[in-house]
Amino acid sequence: MAEHPEKPRWIDLARKELKDKPVESLEKQTPEGITTHPLYTAENLEGIDFVNSLPGISPFVRGPRATMYTVRPWTIRQYAGFSTARESNEFYKRNLAAGQKGLSVAFDLATHRGYDSDHPRVIGDVGKAGVPVDTVEDMKILFDEIPLDKMTVSMTMNGAVLPVMAAYIVAAEEQGVDQEKLAGTIQNDILKEYLTRNTYIYPPDPSMRIVSDIIGYCSKHMPKFNTVSISGYHMMEAGADSVLQTAFTLADGLEYVRAALNAGLEIDAFAPRLSFFFGVGMNFFMEIAMLRAARYLWADLMDQFNPQDPRSKMLRTHVQTSGWSLTQQDPYNNIIRTTLECLAAVLGGTQSLHTNAFDEAVSLPTDVSARIARNTQLIVQEESRVTNTVDPLGGSYYVEWLTDQIVKEVRKVINEVEEMGGMAKAIVEGMPKMRIEEAAARRQARIDQGIDPVIGVNKYPVEEETEVDVREISDSVRDEQINWVNRIREERDDAEVRRCLEALTQCAESGGNLLEACIKAIRARATVGDVTEAMEKVFGRYVATTQCISGVYAGEYQDDEIIKTIRKRVDDFAEKHGRRPRILLTKMGQDGHDRGVKVVATAYADLGFDVDLSPMFQTPAEAAKMAVENDVHVVGVSSLAGAHKILVPQMIEELKKQGGEDVLVVVGGIVPPVDYDFLYNAGVAKVFGPGSMVTDSANQVLNALEQNA
């Protein structure tokens, strides 16, 4: 295609406006390694094979449905759950009455990890970041007066997917709804747990069997239900850029397809019920192009399996706006961020959407913030007129070119994964996790330097912090839940429960469909913990190797003087005290989100600290023991799930018991400002909320050490 005839004239005009600087100075490098240009014309689309494609027709770049939102808008599906099942049920019913169209259930971390609420390892986690489900009775309360034959339900569950899915099926059964009428999605995406979120239970091989068993059971008995939601969202939250999110998500999808085929299923029997889950952040056009590229690539990848049903090649996705982009500082800015991310998801062609509440940088959303988040979607859907046209950005020179660039970059990563033998083997070798952690460290270094602006944090900061109301979950929720589950244990037929659990263990050992066996156990009122332990006898519980990268944060830091100054302070400390400052970074409780603690570990090591990184899921006693044994100066606790008021004071007491009373304790992560004084009174030296710069925190830690010397 010939160059646009007016292009030379445009270059002359641009140079004049740039005062004779080259036009190339306007080029930008994205985190994905894509160089964007200041102007795009038809010539940039030469050779792109999908430019003239249409929605509803493979490769589905312009959308999986021919009419898209002109006939049926995306589903407003707000992810929520907290406190007790009864309180969550009331919250769901209020949201449905106010315009929400589908349910998306957030389970608490104890449930995710297969523990009952009375287990000693979950003392700080019950009801804090989701709703606890110990038995089918909790599930029945959760959906009380919500007709499951008419409501689509999405459940974000992976580790304890079998007992949770079984409880949903039995709850519907006891509501009078047959399985074949149930519609919705179970995430059932265990591979991404080993990459980012870490709420796994069993090792990879038996976990992949669980995925296959659920696909097989639902393909036979629940034709309306999506059996896997292949998730890139948590990869984005862990630091993945758009290329890495797309590549690793699609590679996970390929692994599930092959697992189902190896289990004897036909491609068209299950592929139409696969769905995806992407995260969308603040790089507006990149996010739009990412969703378009993902649809194109999935259709292309599925061709190798020779499907006859066109739906088998159709990528349908739920999207959630970014939680990581939300800031504690100047928090009402988050409403604008979420609105932009919402619009990007819509222009990218999502099938359903969750918009985060502005206060989620510090706590679970309040009723007010949840209403604003939901209304963001309603306003975009009903007032903006973006639903009047199918794919309104189709044909945009920039968007089509950017889509093609993502396709090319993603293919490189997928080919690399395939050469390693597929995603499961790549995960074992650590490649995807390392790439994501490197991207997160680079991003943090750019923010700390102000290269990537975050309004209210590293640019235009406010002098006075804005206080917002926060939702706090009472510690009494755990006591209430323990009393409830004990009552169910007392009333159930123990002999029948034992028989069902023994059959489940036998099924895990000798073969059979695990979901089918779980349904029988849950029907008998076995708990989530009972079911998990019955399979754990055969599968074991997976323990990941904890490690961190080095050199990436400092390598991205362009202002070397800041790095040199901190390293000089570290050297001075070592000269005075005979060794470098040593810090143990730990996560306690069952929260598996480790982006923050990994970035801090990487950065502090680059700044000269000796850094120990604890295993995941520590108890306060275990963290204190490691701190004392490693003779650290500081323990840094990463907290994201509301358990800090229970676990941090317990750890401080354990340090005193074990001879570590001189060890400083600092806390970082999702901590509401109203809790800072509580933590300080408990003995915490410093609290670093969301948006804290790593270099600033390192200086403050060094100050505290000098004062403590």
CA 558 to chain centre: 30
* Euclidean distance between CA atoms 236 and 280, whole angstroms: 8
For 263-309, what is the HEC assignment? CCCCHHHHHHHEEEEEEECCCHHHHHHHHHHHHHHHHHHHHHHCCCC
* Euclidean distance between CA atoms 143 and 470, whole angstroms: 26
> Pairing mode, if any, of strands 35-36 and 28-29?
antiparallel
With CA atoms as reference, report the closest residue to 152 among 273, 71, 66: 273
Residue 593 annotated among the catalytic residues of the structure: yes
Q: How many CB atoms lie within 10 A of CB 253?
A: 26
Cβ(228)–Cβ(277) below 8 Å = no
Per annotation, catalytic residue among 318, 587, 625, 633? 587
DSSP H helical ranges for 315-430: 333-348, 367-382, 397-419, 423-429
* Euclidean distance between CA atoms 330 and 560, whole angstroms: 29
Rounded to 5°, angle at Cα 334 from 100 and 331: 120
Residue 234 annotated among the catalytic residues of the structure: yes
First to last CA, the chain: 71
Residue 233 annotated among the catalytic residues of the structure: yes
Which tokens go with 141?
A: 């309360």
Per annotation, catalytic residue among 40, 79, 398, 542? 79
* Euclidean distance between CA atoms 552 and 381, whole angstroms: 41
Angle between helical axes of 333-348 and 284-302 (0-180°, round to 10): 30
Residue 112 annotated among the catalytic residues of the structure: no
Spell out the residues 6+ positions from residue 498 whose beta carbon is closer than 8 angstroms to its own.
Answer: none
Strand order in the sheet with 582-587: 610-613, 582-587, 634-639, 664-669, 686-688
411 burial level (CB within 10 Å; 0-12, 13-18, 19+) = middle
Q: How many CB atoms lie within 10 A of CB 554?
A: 18
Per annotation, catalytic residue among 354, 593, 625, 633? 593
Residue 318 annotated among the catalytic residues of the structure: no
DSSP H helical ranges for 591-675: 595-606, 620-629, 644-657
Q: DSSP assignment, residue 541?
A: -
Q: DSSP assignment, residue 36?
A: E
Rounded to 5°, angle at Cα 342 from 340 and 343: 65
Per annotation, catalytic residue among 118, 391, 591, 606? 591
Q: DSSP assignment, residue 670?
A: S
- Output the CA torsion sign for 542, 417, 324, 583: positive
CA atoms within 13 A on the CB side of 218: 29
Cβ(294)–Cβ(276) below 8 Å = yes
Q: DSSP assignment, residue 102?
A: E
SS3 219: helix
Residue 506 has φ and ψ, to the nearest 5°, of -65, -40
550 burial level (CB within 10 Å; 0-12, 13-18, 19+) = middle
Per annotation, catalytic residue among 234, 313, 354, 633? 234
Catalytically active residues, by annotation: 79, 233-234, 587, 591, 593
